[in-house]
Amino acid sequence: MPFATLFSNVAARLFGGTAPAAGAVEPELVKLAVEAIVDAVDPRLHGVTRYQSKLAPGAERTIAHLLSLAPGLPAPIEFSRQAWSSDPQLNAFFATADEMPALLGRSDGLRAFFGAPANAAATHAYALLAMLKAERSVFAPAIVDGALRQDVAQTTVSFDKHRLFAPGAELLDCRRQVGMLILRRLAELALERIMALGERAVEMEQRKAMLGSRLRMLNLRRNGIEEIAAGDASGEIAAIEKELRAAVDDFHDAKASLATLDARIEHIKAIFDAPAQHVNIARTALRVNRMGYKVAGNSGEEVAPLTLTELSIGGGLTVVIAFVRCARAELPPKEDLVARAAKELL
């Protein structure tokens, strides 16, 4: 079975409507997760003795962690230009209402969903909106103690790199796909570790070759006429010989670790044994005004308090997420996008 299907089946159990109760991880679900992970990272691992039992504890721990995160996924919001003026989240996420249909138009996934014959009658689709949040300190005019001051230290909050993921006819469809994206990301992190080890082996091999060449050059120079200008190279030769021995040992360790499938199992375990280090969902309170400036809690300024959902998904990546309900009617025609691009080139 293709790993995409395996991940989809696991995600459906975790983020769909039939997820098992927290703390009650079914053995069959663990087995399915291990198969999905192995197929994604390196199918050759199926040949490792007892690979299931080696990876099952980490898979079970990851499933339990994801189950604990599922309730923290946000409720969907209506995604439309009309909603922008009244929904404080959309107003904070987008500088203008016109940015919203433009985002819909750039989403190949959303266009594919509405263009599929099976969805011909669908008027709406659910999707995951993900974006980066940036805070920047600035000096700007502000009312302080009833008086206007020109250079008040303030913090702007902005959102950028908006993307739509996992469109589905129902919210549960979308949640299942988001679960699959998270599982795939964890598998990707494990594969990144394995690739990094390979890159280190290459670097160590190059270092070893460079030190060997330097050592040969110094030995050729020893007792030669070059020593009149360069001096005795014995000390440098001894130092390079020591460094070369260490480089050879490091290279052999890295190459041996990379070469064995058991070592790859260990790298997978390092990720899935500690899922909380790589995937988390946090709820963050935020107060910003219509201009995008952060407002203190004791300020008398009227603002709509927000609660952001932030997904940390490994490698230092944290994105703000929201589930959105997108109307087909809000999707601009393709020709509109072409015309807009042509105007921007003029």
**Taking residues 112-124, what's their average pLDDT?**
94
**Taking residues 114-141, what's their average pLDDT?**
90
**Taking residues 221-245, what's their average pLDDT?**
66
pLDDT surpassing 50 at residue 278 = yes
Using an 8 Å Cβ cutoff, are 322 and 133 in contact?
A: no
Range with the largest mean pLDDT of 103-117, 146-160, 236-250, 288-302? 103-117
pLDDT band at 21; cut points 50, 70, 90: low
pLDDT band at 42; cut points 50, 70, 90: confident
Q: Which of 32-41, 43-52, 229-238 has the lowest mean pLDDT?
A: 229-238
Q: Which of 69-73, 173-177, 194-198, 222-226 has the lowest mean pLDDT?
A: 222-226
The whole-number pLDDT of residue 50 equals 92
- Across all residues in the chain, what is the average pLDDT? 81
Kindly state the helix (H) or strand (E) to which residue 62 belongs, with its residue range: helix 51-69
pLDDT surpassing 70 at residue 318 = yes
Range with the largest mean pLDDT of 10-14, 95-99, 194-198, 287-291? 95-99
Kindly state the helix (H) or strand (E) to which residue 124 belongs, with its residue range: strand 124-144
User: pTM to 2 decimals?
Assistant: 0.73
pLDDT surpassing 90 at residue 78 = yes
pLDDT surpassing 90 at residue 209 = no
pLDDT band at 80; cut points 50, 70, 90: very high
**Taking residues 323-345, what's their average pLDDT?**
76
**Taking residues 221-241, what's their average pLDDT?**
64
Which structure tokens are listed for 326? 């997108």
- Name the residue ranges covered by the structural domains of the chain: 3-72, 77-167+273-345, 191-271
**Taking residues 312-319, what's their average pLDDT?**
88
pLDDT surpassing 50 at residue 1 = no
Share above pLDDT 90 across residues of the chain, in percent, rounded to a whole number? 32
Task: Please state, in angstroms and rounded to a whole number, the distance separating the CA atoms of residues 206 and 202.
Answer: 6
The whole-number pLDDT of residue 243 equals 79
List all residues 6 or more positions away from 279 whose beta carbon is below 8 Å from its beta carbon.
65, 66, 69, 182, 185, 186, 311, 312, 313, 314
pLDDT surpassing 60 at residue 184 = yes
Which structure tokens are listed for 184? 């795939």
The whole-number pLDDT of residue 194 equals 79
Using an 8 Å Cβ cutoff, are 201 and 255 in contact?
A: yes
235: amino acid identity, one letter:
G
Residue whose entry in the numeric block shows the structure tokens 């159990």: 13
Task: Please state, in angstroms and rounded to a whole number, the distance separating the CA atoms of residues 175 and 291.
Answer: 32
Q: Could you tell me which residue, 236 or 106, shows the higher pLDDT?
A: 106
Using an 8 Å Cβ cutoff, are 101 and 330 in contact?
A: yes
The whole-number pLDDT of residue 228 equals 47
Q: Could you tell me which residue, 297 or 265, shows the higher pLDDT?
A: 265
pLDDT band at 182; cut points 50, 70, 90: confident
Q: Which of 85-94, 119-128, 139-148 has the lowest mean pLDDT?
A: 139-148
